[in-house]
Amino acid sequence: MEYIKKRIRDVYDFPSKGIVFKDLTTVFKDPRALHIIGWDLSQLYRDKGVTKVVGIESRGFIGGSILAFELGAGFVPVRKPGKLPADTLKMSYQKEYGTDTIEIHRDAITEDDVVVLHDDVLATGGTMAAAYELVKSMNPKKIYINFIIELSALNGRSNLPADAEVSSLITY
């Protein structure tokens, strides 16, 4: 993981003053780093029977697609409202400054699915908690939660369901 850590760019005062944003675009553009992330993510779930990987818009699409490919699973996007073309389920949740909503196609997950929910960074956990509840409402066999980076000082795990199995490749 040191190879990956060295390629993560810190962007100061983004998206607002006082925030140090962990930018993974510098990791994603490096072929070796991308391969390492795909391999390391897939090793966490290789023997878990995963059938679907759900990626959260937008950076979660990158790692989630790679993970789905490595596991031979399908990929399902969770998106902002109005971006998915067919019938959707919606979940609204509180953010630091208001409410947000995410959507998933109503037919994306079945009761036979074993799902990994993936996003790039665990910060406060609000979006992932909403995505978890959305997917859970579709009654899959099992749901795992995964991140590339976890910002432990923000205590995002405390906002995730207590029964969820959560993993992160890198913790700051």
The H-or-E segment that residue 37 falls in is: helix 31-45
Is 116 strand, coil or helix? strand
**Positive or negative: CA dihedral 25, 23, 1, 123:** negative
Query: Given pLDDT bands bounded at 50, 70 and 90, which one contains residue 108?
Result: very high
Say yes or no to pLDDT of 97 above 80. no
Active site residue 96: yes
Active site residue 59: yes
Average pLDDT taken over every residue of the chain = 96
Indicate which residue of 32, 79, 96, 111 is catalytic: 96
Amino acid at position 153, single letter? A
Residue 85 — φ and ψ, nearest 5°?
Answer: -80, -20
Residue 84 DSSP one-character state: -
Say yes or no to pLDDT of 57 above 80. yes
**Lowest-confidence range among 27-31, 62-66, 96-100, 158-162?**
96-100
CATH number for domain 49-171, candidates 2.60.40.1930, 3.40.640.10, 3.40.50.2020, 3.90.1150.10 = 3.40.50.2020
Query: Given pLDDT bands bounded at 50, 70 and 90, which one contains residue 149?
Result: very high
Dist CA 143 CA 90 (whole Å): 18
Considering only CA atoms, which of 79, 103, 89 is closest in space to residue 137? Answer: 89
- Please say whether the beta carbons of 120 and 140 come within 8 A: no
Say yes or no to pLDDT of 172 above 90. yes
Indicate which residue of 7, 32, 59, 79 is catalytic: 59
The token duo for 12 is 């100061």
Domain residue limits, the chain: 49-171
Say yes or no to pLDDT of 14 above 90. yes
Mean pLDDT of 66-78: 98
